[in-house]
Amino acid sequence: MSPDSTLITVPATDDTGLHSGRQPTPVTPGGGSIFIVDFHATGNSARHRQSGWSGQENSFVWSVGLSSSLRLPAPAETSSLIIETDLTISRSRFGVRAALVRVFANSHLLGSAVVTGWTRLHCLLPAALLEPGQPIELRYEHPNYVRADLLEPSRDDRPLAVCFYCVRLFPLSFAIPMRGFAPKPLEGAFIEAAARQYEEQEAPLPSALYRFGAGQDAAACLLQGWRHDEQGDACAHEHVATIGLPAPQVRGGYIAQFDLTPLFVRRLVAWQRITILLHGAVLGQFRIQTATTLAVFLPPELVEQSDTLDFTLILPDGLAMHPFDGTSRPHFLSILLESIRIQPLPARHKTLALLRDDDGAASRPIAVSEQFLDEAVEILPDAIRAATGVGPADILRDFESLGDNCSFGLAQRKADCEVMGLLRFANTPLRSVLYALADEFAAMDDHAAFSLRTIDEEHKELSLFHDRYGIRWHTNVHAGEANEAKVLADQIVRLTYLRRKFYEALRASRKIFVVARAEPRKHPVPLPFAGERTYWEESSDRLRFAEVVPLFLQLNQYGSNTVLYLTRCANGRRPGAVELLAPGIMRGYVDDFVITPHPETKDHAAWLRVAANAWLLDNGPNAPFRKRVQA
């Protein structure tokens, strides 16, 4: 159990203090020694810095990403010490004005503070955490890092977190009385304490859904920078848009899910950058191209600051739209905001709150599997069988596709694994999957909601549509080959059976559910130039951790279910590599999302490698999650 601790925030009398090169007033020692880590260019910080740091600057060093660490020499005596840290945060003219900082020593949380400018953090390192002759491992968590190039025109793509000037360690006898202390933070390991508190609640934590269309109750929560269009949708009308929602009344862990659609204009606006802030602290930064649901975690230290959740959206890529639509009233557009859901984070998934993996920076995975990356597709099955003792077909039976497109199902088929799945050969955008899961596919009981249509005039295959969910299934039946009424009835009976099997698998926690971004949408070209194609295709938008979290939480309402989401190669990973980001969530890398249906074309190697590496992680580092017994 973590010891009692206090973290005190003492603002400098001059907010420009260390920026001007002036050092703070030194502490007069009362006996003993003081150890100083100086982050000035002529200082000694380089020998103590471990991970999470940017390059040396003249009088300071920036920490980057989620956390940064220092290794300090073993103290001469194992008596309690004071850790004093002089730092500031990255600020922006658009509204970034706060950041959360947590301080750990030898893996124990000492305390946390919300920093709003130049700050001196003052916290106790109890003697019980020190081991004779062992160095002190000091770690700072700073989840509210910010990338300048996602906020404004800038070439700085570093995820800047906290600017460090000095760290001092000294005995308690050196401490001097300080005024203006910040409130004492929660004691012990904060995330664990919050989780235990939630588990002790007799009633579940509350959830709240806010919809912002014209005339809806939450429309009044839209503050600066919003307007409603002719359809009643809430549109961001300025580069900075603010929202004020009621804060949860019950303490615990929460996430916020933003349902939004970005402006996309061919050859003009390829994406929308969006930075989400709470009380001036960055929760996530994204560059989105398609309608999506983004989940961000709400640090309890920020939530408990106020009775309201003061969200700010920074949107630098919006356009003035009146020159396009011919209206006389000037108006601006970057995103449409449909809703925000404030949802509790179950205690068993508390580790998710420690991650932030967005377009600002990638989180460090728990484990990585990169086997079978060099074998040719002809010898790959034998290599997998020799290494695992299990054949590829048996491995692939442990997976079920959630219907992004048919590629994973085709990969299973080419590996001689023919299994039935509700969405195996379906085209389903991720938001449609979320909607159907929240509804438990109940609308499938309405047989009148299904219809058969052809979408390919060349092949004339009949496709089964359910418009409420936005799902399209392949039937492998072509127009004129069979009675369409009988085809429709047979398909509905088949899907009714597969829906039941799908929920049996969810409750049994026996599958790894695979999801990827749906195929990019194709749009007709009204007047193509000579030689130009008659349609254009949107560029592919990578699937993000923040989009997968809502899906993961939906699936885990039934059991301990693992999600594997696929994305194009990045972060130095090769096709077929898989990362375990958090218990129950994996990320796999492929170089192409298209597999041809022709059985003689062996273009499924990357998908087979991903499945084998995910299976190894699932039976290794992820095994405790999958085998956990649910209460």
pLDDT in tens, 532-569: 666 556 666 789 999 999 999 999 999 999 999 999 99
d(CA 601, CA 605): 11
Fold classified for 208-353 = Jelly Rolls (2.60.120)
What integer pLDDT is reported at residue 479 of this predicted model? Answer: 86
What integer pLDDT is reported at residue 526 of this predicted model? Answer: 64
What integer pLDDT is reported at residue 472 of this predicted model? Answer: 92
CB 264 within 8 A of CB 538: yes
What integer pLDDT is reported at residue 190 of this predicted model? Answer: 29
Give the CATH H-level superfamily of domain 7-188: Galactose-binding domain-like (2.60.120.260)
Per-residue tokens: 232: 């009643």
Give the 3-state secondary structure of residue 382: helix
The alpha helices in 366-483, defined as continuous H runs, are 380-388, 392-396, 407-414, 430-438
Other C-beta atoms closer than 10 Å to the C-beta of 50 total: 12
pLDDT of residue 12 exceeding 50: no
When pLDDT is cut at 50, 70 and 90, the band that residue 581 belongs to is: very high
* 467 Ramachandran zone, left/alpha/beta (phi>0; psi -120 to 50): alpha
When mean pLDDT is compared across 250-254, 273-277, 394-398, the lowest value belongs to 250-254
Rounded to the nearest angstrom, the gap between the alpha carbon of residue 594 and the centroid of all alpha carbons in its chain is 25
Q: Report the greatest alpha carbon distance in the chain.
A: 95
Do 7-188 and 208-353 agree at the fold level? yes
List the domain boundaries for the chain. 7-188, 208-353, 367-626
What integer pLDDT is reported at residue 458 of this predicted model? Answer: 66
Given the DSSP bridges, would you call strands 522-524 and 535-537 parallel, antiparallel or unpaired?
antiparallel
Q: What is the dihedral of CA 31, 79, 9, 70, to 10 degrees?
A: 110
The two counts, helices (H) then strands (E), for the chain are 11, 35
CB 320 within 8 A of CB 230: no
Mean pLDDT for the chain? 85
Using only C-alpha atoms, the chain has a radius of gyration, in whole angstroms, of 27
What integer pLDDT is reported at residue 527 of this predicted model? Answer: 61
**How far from 180 is each of 9, 11, 12, 267, CA to CA, in Å?**
8, 8, 11, 54
Q: Got the DSSP string for 517-567?
A: PPPPPEEE-SSPPTT--SEEEPPPPPP-HHHHHHHHHHHTTTS--EEEEEE
pLDDT in tens, 339-352: 999 999 998 898 99
- Whose structure tokens read 């009981």? 445
What integer pLDDT is reported at residue 219 of this predicted model? Answer: 96
When pLDDT is cut at 50, 70 and 90, the band that residue 523 belongs to is: low
pLDDT in tens, 361-386: 988 999 999 999 999 999 999 999 99
